[in-house]
Amino acid sequence: MDLTTRMQEQKYLQLLAQQYPTIQSASTALIRQSARLSLPKGTEHFVSDIHGEYEALRHVLRNGSGAIRRRIDAIFGGELSEEEKCSLATLIYYPQEKLAQMLPGIENEAEWYRSTLLQILDVCRSLSARYPHTYVKKFLPEPFALILDDLLQEQETLEDRADFFRSTLDTIISTSSAPAFIIALAELTHKLAISRLHVIGDIFDRGPGPHLILDMLMEHPLVDIQWGNHDIVWMGAAAGSDACIANVVRGCLRYASTDTLEHGYAINLLPLASFAVDTYADDPCSLFRPHLSGGEDFSPAELRLMAQMHKAITIIQFKLEGQLIARRPSYGMEDRLLLGSVNYQDGTVELDGTLHPMLDTHFPTVDPLQPYELTPREAGVVEKLRLSFTNSQKLQEHVRFLYSRGSIYLVHNGDLLFHGCIPMNPDGTFRPFEVDGRTASPREFLDWVDRLVRQGYFATDHPEQKLEGMDAMWYLWSGAQSPLFGKQKMATFERYFIADKATHAEKREPYYELREREEIAHKILLEFNLDPERGHIINGHVPVKAKQGESPVKANGRLIAIDGGFSKAYHGQTGIAGYTLVTNSWGLLLATHHPFVSTQQAIELGLDIESKISVLESYQVRKRVHDTDPGQEIQRQVEELSTLISAYRDGLIKESGPIY
């Protein structure tokens, strides 16, 4: 070891000694950390493409993708009837609501509370056994933390502690505290059922509750997010990108989900509504009637207003995108400049050398000589929308969470997680990209893209850099070579205005055919320095058509596509209602979920999501914490503490704390 390295190590040990100022304190930390390494690996859940389906995701997280019910079956076996086990499971999922339903029909409340508390304690204990006691204590809710800590230690089985345990339960019941303790235990059970949650993109759009989902994710103990294209466009909108804002508003109007904007994020749509009513007063806007899922209750006047607003923001979007494409010729998206390809006199548009009749020819705000120039009123609408998005406290809070917990991709425990695709050529070679004047590898390209996305939000002191980053977010949403979008074009214009459905096709990137091949998965894993024989690629974005026989498991098990269609909009394509990939200490499981009816029916009728569990891999040796990435970090800490203790004993570092 050279002099510089020794000096750096000495300086680091001195800093570490400030945290552990004595041999005893360092030894205690080393013992605790070493013990953690031998615990079973925690249970991790992977979900993807949630698309605003708050109730379905909430239920999946509360039931641990069926793990809590399986735990109840294992603990109570034939001791409880099927009805009793179902009732107990629902009580754990929705304690407050289920208590309100059950209590009026119970004759002996004290006895019911006693048996129910004991049952939930058994379930909670079985889950807490996988964690260090200090970890569990972090989630014990005040003001019940000390009492719950005592109850979770199985003290009723110890002769000297049995009276204490019974007395504690008696006092909880006699003071009318039992409902609060049941709720607290149930919430703790939810937290312990899933040690880490991975969201492989697309929280936003389609469904009504992305803002509720993000509130829920922010309360989860440990979560990471790999951004999807629907997330990135909202992040761009929050940053102030006009093109992203227009896309977000158009998407919400297209699916009649403006509640997310207006009530979730307090986005003021009145300027757009006023402009749309004035501009399209005599226009039926029939092509712009919102897509409804069937459960909505809108009046004809509301539907007409949404159609007018929808058309207004769509034309604004095409203009803003045209300006952006002209500003960024390197994007190579001139083929998307279709407003300039319209013959406004004869109502046709030229696309790839072919003339197509337009389904709508009423464009009162478009100047054929300057088709991408906003009118003064359109510019005013855009400015007010931008102010509304950038000043929405809740939206900014959620987007900062997406930045702090999110990334373009994640390497975790030997697996590679990303939402969309790795850009590739049809022959299976990686597509080259120029980054800072040199050809970048796929990993370098994704790292560069990740930096651009952060730059677009945080580079507030550098307007040109911020604009470049915001434009990049729009490109990631819809660009031909975007690793999040993964298609050769976004045919928004064609779907609105051209009848020929052949023009609507959005051809996928070669990756989506190549990913079926094991050698391609191996190649990608090696690019990210992962073991191709053990690692997995975990992917979302493209719904798996399970009802047509498509398997989510590809490349001989090296790639798992987990977009199973959480969103109701995709149930018809997939035939199911989402996947959850689960890894625990024993292996790799895939939960295939059937549609979730509603939280109300789950509570009232005890209806759970029906989930089919498939074992994808079984580990020959049970995985422990030391086999994981966090375990490697703990092992590093153990080695550093051992070095510190040796430094104390060798006289290189002096103890500074109290010595007992």
Residue type, 471: D
Task: Note whether residue 476 is domain-resident.
Answer: yes
DSSP 8-state class, residue 430: B
> What pLDDT score does 396 carry?
98
In a domain, 571, yes or no: no
N- to C-terminal Cα separation, the chain: 35
Whether 120 and 238 map to the same domain: the answer is no
565 phi-psi bin (left φ>0, alpha ψ -120 to 50, beta other): left
The reported pLDDT for the residue numbered 155 is 60
**Domain limit, last residue, from 496, 513, 531:** 496
Pair of tokens at residue 36: 């953690």
Q: What are 210's strand-pairing partners?
A: none
Residue 382 lies in a domain: yes
- State mean pLDDT over 376-380: 97
DSSP secondary structure of 137-185:
HHTPPTTSHHHHHHHTTTGGGSTTTHHHHHHHHHHHHHTT-HHHHHHHH
Identify whether residues 75 and 35 lie together within a single domain. Answer: no
Q: How far apart are CA 414 and CA 248, in angstroms?
A: 35
pLDDT band (50, 70, 90) for residue 63? confident
Taking the C-alpha atoms of residue 489 and residue 486, their distance in angstroms, rounded to an integer, is: 9
pLDDT at 2 (0 to 100) = 67
Same domain, 344 and 383: yes
Strand segments, DSSP code E, in 280-368 are: 342-343, 348-351, 354-357
Where in the sequence is the domain holding 16, given as residue range(s)? 3-39+632-649
pLDDT average, residue stretch 267-285? 96
Q: How confident is the model at residue 445 (pLDDT cuts 50, 70, 90)?
A: very high
When mean pLDDT is compared across 225-229, 522-526, 620-624, the lowest value belongs to 620-624
More reliable by pLDDT, 572 or 233: 233
Give residue 4's pLDDT.
73
pLDDT of residue 144: 83
pLDDT of residue 659: 54
The percent of residues in the chain predicted with pLDDT above 90, rounded, is 56
Which of 193, 210, 242 terminates a domain? The answer is 193
Reported confidence tier of residue 236, pLDDT bands at 50, 70, 90: very high
Q: Could you give the number of structural domains in the chain?
A: 3
* One domain, residues 324 and 437: yes
Q: Do 285 and 161 have their domain in common?
A: no
> Are 72 and 7 part of one and the same domain?
no
Q: Establish if 580 belongs to a structural domain.
A: no
Q: Which amino acid belongs to residue 331?
A: Y
One domain for residues 23 and 81: no
Residue 5 or residue 634, greater confidence: 634
- CB atoms under 10 Å from CB of 449, counted, come to 23
Check residue 609 and report its DSSP letter. Answer: P
Q: Which of 487, 546, 541, 543 is nearest to 203 (CA)?
A: 541
Task: Specify the DSSP class assigned to residue 261.
Answer: I
Whether the pLDDT of residue 607 is over 70: the answer is no
Looking only at the bridges linking them, the beta strands covering 415-418 and 348-351 are unpaired
Question: pLDDT at position 298, please?
Answer: 87
Q: Are residues 353 and 252 in the same domain?
A: yes
Same domain, 358 and 242: yes
The per-residue pLDDT for 135 is 82
CA gap 430, 319 in Å, rounded: 34
Q: Is residue 21 part of a domain?
A: yes
Q: Is residue 524 part of a domain?
A: no
pLDDT digits (tens, 9 = 90+) for 122-170: 999 888 888 888 888 888 888 888 888 888 876 656 666 777 888 888 8
Query: How far apart (Å, rounded) are the C-alpha atoms in residues 208 and 598?
Result: 14
3-state secondary structure 122-140: HHHHHHHCCCCHHHHHHCC
Q: Is the pLDDT of residue 188 over 70?
A: yes
Structure tokens given for 165: 């345990």
pTM: 0.91
pLDDT at 198 over 60: yes
Q: 83-101 b/e with 16+ CB inside 10 Å = b?
A: eebbbbbbbbbbbebbbee
Q: Is the pLDDT of residue 1 over 60?
A: no
Q: Is 434 helix (H, G, I), strand (E, B) or coil?
A: strand
DSSP helix/strand/coil, 406 = strand
* Within-domain flag for 550: no
78 and 27 in one domain? no
Q: Does residue 211 form part of some domain?
A: no
Residues 368 and 270 in one domain: yes
What is the reported pLDDT for 273? Answer: 97
pLDDT in tens, 343-352: 999 999 999 8
Listed residues 193, 217, 245: the one ending a domain? 193
Q: How far is CA 363 from the centre of its chain?
A: 39
Whether the per-residue pLDDT at 331 is higher than 80: the answer is: yes
SS3 percent helix, strand, coil of the chain, rounded to 5, is 55, 10, 35
pLDDT at 159: 65
240 shares its domain with 370: yes
